[in-house]
Every structure is written in C-alpha cells, then in structure tokens.
Amino acid sequence: MAQAGAHAIIGMYTAKLPFLRKNLTVPIIIGSLIPDLDIFVVAYGKLFTNILDSTQYFHRKGTHSFLFVLFVFLVFQILSEILKNPNLRDWGKGLSIGITSHILVDSFFFLHGIHLLWPLQI
C-alpha cells in the first residue's frame, strides 16, 4: 500500500503545476489512486475463482490503459451535458490527469507490466 501513498503525493504535486486550476486538486489526487483499484478484482479472482494467477489477468491492464483515461473523461463530459452540471467537466479533467500521472509513473517503474493500450495486444 506504500505505492498508494506515493501515487497520492505525485497527484498532489501534479495538481500544483502552474497551468492547472486549483479546483482540479482533489480530482487529480483521487484520479491518481483509481488505477490501483483493480487490486480488488485480483483479490476476488484469487479467493473465489479457479484462476491460478489472477494478478497476471487483472492487475495493470484495464485501469492502466489510455483507453480507460479516455473512457473516464468522456463519461464525465457526457454526464455534465445530461445533468447540466459544469463541475462534472472539471472532475472528468482532473480524474483523467490523475489517472494519466499514475500510468506514467507506473510505466517508468514497471516497464513490462503495463498494458498502455489494453485491450489491444500491441
């Protein structure tokens, strides 16, 4: 869990970049933690399925993909339009920036373990 703290700190420093608005700080920090939520799927796979190595199948795949970043961004943009709430646009931007910072940091430390274009096998 030390990585979660490191990702939160990196998200905090990412939010301090001069070209980002102050209202993006909380979504960026939360977004920097979101990709590692796939560990709950890994735990479920280990406990309740017959998969021998659920980490290989679930960890650092879908939530560590640039397609996931695009999905989160688009969902919040669409929700902002449907609900007529401009704050959701900022949340979508902030979460996307935080998730991207998480992916970039993980790609430096886990060179062969990140699937940046998942589900594409490139």
Joined tokens for residue 73: 């961004």
Helices (DSSP H) in the chain: which residue ranges?
Answer: 2-15, 25-33, 38-48, 54-58, 66-83, 87-109
Tell me the three state secondary structure of residue 51: coil
**Which segment of 35-44, 71-80, 112-121 scores lowest on mean pLDDT?**
112-121
Task: Tell me how many degrees the CA angle 107-96-6 measures, rounded to the nearest 5.
Answer: 50
Prediction pTM value: 0.84
pLDDT score, position 121? 73
**pLDDT digit string, tens, across residues 40-99:** 887 887 788 887 777 666 667 788 889 999 999 999 999 999 999 999 999 999 999 999
